[in-house]
Chains A and B, each alone.
Chain A
């Protein structure tokens, strides 16, 4: 069993890795390494902040989904949680609600919760791994189609939403970024504080019951928190797949499965993965930019198949 000393080491390692990649993504650009001019520095800082925050949040949500559903394939994207959040955001944009403050992360979070509830309902009581992923994919496709339908009605205004659906860390409105990162951080801290509950939940209904847990109540609470976190992340990053799948699995290699150690390491891994993906998205075809979701999917899809075959 790992000790508190291990915890501090993991925390320090996670912070060091996150800070190093944050620093790199701010200082390294097509013009070489160095502190860029003020205007570019501001944009890069905002972008790195969104990448780190959204990546960490998606990883925390992924940890919770995987643990509660005892399903190594669970992830905010594959469960349809991200698409639900994106559909909520598309609806707000459709009705012309301004992108500021808590309204976007809150709506996205609620839509994400409703989508996960629908996916689990469709998957059936057994919560079988395959059923959940198949239901998630079906709901994902339906919601993506619904968003594209909305886009088709108002082509001009919705061009930015198309880009958003494929992942975009270019959000610069401070009130939206602050509100979203604040909500994601609060949700993640809540889940982290519940680490031992999540450990017990991962043993399944009967064993967690014999550990004295109200399985239904605790599962629903954790799933709701993970969905709200996903909503907050999606409202500043768009739909980015597989970060919530890859980060917990990478972190598990170093920390094991105890959530007290796993969650901070996974959050750091998620932040690093998304910042690196964004760096690649900006620079591979420079000056042309690729949506960051394309890079994360190119990494994540083979990773998914590897986990599936294990």
Chain B
């Protein structure tokens, strides 16, 4: 379990995240949502101690992250930014193999490392392009490559920062299908930041609603209402439920209160 206790974090003079308190249960998938500049990325990066100014505590399974070394923390938490643009032409397999560096820092990978790398490539359907340069991949494949690195690393907590930001509908569907199968096969805690609330409704079990650096609500998926979302984003949002129980979120750009 991850717990934020009176936690604030930010850069130079300002705290972006302000005195938040929340518990994130193990084995569940959370959607971290909120308007631009709400502090979603800062909240995620705080978990890997990548924010310079912090106050308060974050604990993972009862251990304060301040007391956990970087090398140990990386074995528990993985973080993927919204896009990658490697400066050099690392191949997909070389990039994925870097995930094992977090586990084993010897000069050569062990047999176990090589097995995990192959499994990760396979899980992300990247085996056919394993020797291709990451820079030559499509945005969707790059995201899969990043996820393959994380799978090879094999941490209990996975943080994904707007993973679908640059993907079209098809690649979004492919990517989130992989996330859902990862969720089904493992007991991992996954926190994903979203701008597309339909993706969030499809992929997440629970929601963390963040605005102006403060947590407004932590709720299960079925507790999320149009009113909550409208208040969060400051514009009219409705949720429509289909017969099979799936939900669609629709922001109203014209008419009603959204006009």
Contacts and interface: CB of A to CB of B under 8 A. Distances in A.
A and B from one complex = yes
Interface string A228-269: 000000000000000000000000100011101000000000
Q: How large is the interface on B (under 10, 10 to 19, 20 to 34, 35 or more residues)?
A: 35 or more
A1 B102 contact: no
- Secondary structure class of chain B's binding surface, majority of residues: mixed
Interface stretch (B23-31, B77-85, B194-202, B212-220): B77-85
B88 A257 contact: yes
B73 A203 contact: no
B74 A210 contact: yes
Given A1-B117, A203-B84, A196 B90 contact: no
A40 interface: no
Contact of A202 (B75, B78, B80, B86): B86
Interface string B81-104: 100101111110110011101100
A71 B73 CA distance: 28
Nearest to A194: B107
A80 B99 CA distance: 34
Contacts of B61: none
Nearest to A4: B108
Given A1-B93, A209-B48, A258-B94, A196 B105 contact: yes
Contacts of B94: 1, 199, 256-258
Given A4-B108, A207-B81, A212 B73 contact: yes
Residue of A66, A200, A206, A210 ringed by the most chain B CB atoms within 10 A: A210
Q: How large is the interface on A (under 10, 10 to 19, 20 to 34, 35 or more residues)?
A: 20 to 34
B68 to A, nearest CB: 11
Contact of B71 (A196, A212, A257): A212
The 6 tightest CB contacts between A and B, nearest first, are A212-B74, A70-B87, A257-B88, A1-B93, A210-B79, A212-B102
Interface of B: 45, 48-50, 70-71, 73-75, 77-81, 84, 86-91, 93-94, 97-99, 101-102, 105, 107-108, 114, 117, 130, 153
Given A202-B86, A209-B49, 12 more contacts: A1-B91, A66-B88, A72-B88, A196-B107, A199-B90, A203-B98, A209-B48, A210-B74, A210-B78, A211-B99, A211-B153, A257-B94
